[in-house]
Structures are given as structure tokens and as C-alpha cells.
Amino acid sequence: MKALVTGARGQLGRDVVSLFSHYHDTFGFGRDQLDITDADTVRKIIREMEPDVVIHTAAYTAVDRAEEDKHQAFVVNAQGSQNVAAAAAEVGAKLCAISTDYVFDGQASTPYTEDSKVNPQSVYGQSKLAGEDYVREITDSHFIVRTSWVFGVHGNNFVKTLLKLGKQGKPLKVVNDQFGSPTSTADLAKLLLELVASNRFGTYHASNTGVCSWYDFSREIFRQAGIQVEVEPCTTEEFSRPAPRPAYSVLAHDALRENGFHLLQPWQDALRDFLGDWSHYEDLEGTK
């Protein structure tokens, strides 16, 4: 199988390219090589490559900046996804598009299923939902994979930020009234590999199993990393941000179960694996 990955230099994209390369002819394109907002370029490259599957990880992910940059968020997340979906459909390729828990309003008290009502409260969430809608309209051969609280060895994320702050030894305040499920990009990439090998198309929720608050998550990060630092819980109101965050964005994994796919491991185990990978990665970076 030939796989083409958009956003190949991003946090998830790099892990997808690395893993898929062991099993398939895989071609990763960063933004400078494949600008998904340029329909002609997208069509030209996908026509030339003729992939069997397109893993669409490219996205505008600056959640707070999107509130003031609505046009660009929609150009990338909605129009960009439209361009990728149209080009993939033209060559008969499967499309696996990554989406987000931000398509929900966060007012639930039980995990959101794939059929739960969407009601995004942020520009980021609205733009990602618009991208989902384009994918569904354009091609039936799609996997839409919603995920949450993503972390990996590449790019910026909550875990790496906390590790850096923790080593400074200063007391920290972390939000304790937002609940979700952390997701390892390494684990997610493995699921995508399994998913696209099938023809079980549709919408899926994919996150590591288990639920925590950002405060719980931070405490576990420091515990596993062996970092002694004082962490105090705070409310969302105390830690105001431009974009509203879902108070509860836990994703149920009904579609994975119903279609016979493996669930991701508990988030605590995924964190353990990440810390081992990150330590090795830091060592390699330090030798350069």
C-alpha cells in the first residue's frame, strides 16, 4: 500500500510517517511541500503520487490564536480538508482525517459517542467540524478520527511543557475542572495503521483509555518523571484563555469496539512509554 501523509512535520504526522514507513511505501509532506490550502497543488501532488490512502494530519491547531484569526483557521481546517478530500476521491484513495474533541461543547457528564450531538464552542472546534463535514460530503471512503489531549516526542504539548516547568522547581497551578483523556501520538499512529488497512469506514473516537483532569495529569507526569514540585489545583476561571475549553470532553470508543479494533492502552501506561521515548530522544538530540 502507498500512503501519503499531510502535516508530516507535525506532532502526530512525524510519528505516522515513522511507523507507516515500516509497513508501506510512505511519503510525508510538510506545509512547505504541500500547502493544503492550495487546491491546485494538492490535486497535482496527489495525482502524481496516486496513493492508496491519505493520512490527513495537517491542521491549524493554535486554539487561542484562532479566536482572532478565524478566517485562516477555516481556510486550513475546513477548506484545506475539502481540498485533500477532493483530491483523494479523484484518485480513489482512502482518506483518514484527524479531528478533535473540541467539536463537542463539553457540557456532558458521560463520554461522548461518535453519534453524540456536536456543538463546538471555539473557532478551532468549529473549523475542524466544518472540515469533517466536507470529508463526509466528498468521499464515502473516509475515516474521521477524533482524538484529545495529544502528546508525543515531537512538537509542543502539555507533557513537555510541564516537564520543563517542573525542572525549574517553582510551584505550579493547574486546572482541575476540565476532564478528558490524554492521547499518545505513538499509540494513535498504531491505531491509524490498523484502521486504514480495513474498509470499515466512518467516524471513530480514539484516545488512551481512562479519564483525568489536567491537574491529575500533571501530578502523574511529575510522579512518573520523579520530579518534586508543588502543584496546586485551580479553576478554569482562574486560568482564563481566549478560546473556551470543553469542561468535559471524554470520548467513548464505541465504533472501535463495534468494528473489532483494539482500544488504546490506559493513559498512565502511554505516559510511561512516552517518558522512556522522550528520555532516549533527548539523549540523541544532545549528541548532535
Closest CA relative to residue 12, chosen from 61, 51, 85, 74: 61
Q: Catalytic amino acids?
A: 124
Burial 61-84 (b: 16+ CB within 10 A, else e): bebeebbeeeebbbebbbbbbbbb
* pLDDT tens figures, 38-49: 999 999 999 999
79 pLDDT tier (thresholds 50, 70, 90): very high
What is the domain partition of the chain in residue ranges? Answer: 2-157+181-210+249-266
Cα–Cα distance, 73 to 80 (Å, whole number): 10
Q: Does the pLDDT of residue 287 top 50, yes or no?
A: no
Cα–Cα distance, 84 to 162 (Å, whole number): 35
Beta strands 150-151 and 142-147: pairing type? Answer: unpaired
* pLDDT tens figures, 4-55: 999 999 999 999 999 999 999 999 999 999 999 999 999 999 999 999 999 9
pTM, two decimals, is 0.95
Q: Does the pLDDT of residue 283 top 70, yes or no?
A: no
Q: Which cell goes with 35?
A: 500547502
CB 277 within 8 A of CB 213: no
Q: What is the pLDDT of residue 282?
A: 63
What is the H or E stretch that residue 85 is in? helix 80-90
Q: What is the pLDDT of residue 180?
A: 98
Closest CA relative to residue 54, chosen from 82, 87, 22: 87
Residues forming a β-bridge with 184: 151
Q: Does the pLDDT of residue 284 top 70, yes or no?
A: no
CB 3 within 8 A of CB 25: yes
CATH pick for 2-157+181-210+249-266 out of 3.40.50.410, 2.115.10.20, 3.40.50.720, 3.20.20.140: 3.40.50.720
What integer is the mean pLDDT of 167-190?
Answer: 96
A 10 A CB-CB count for 277 gives 15
Q: Does the pLDDT of residue 286 top 70, yes or no?
A: no
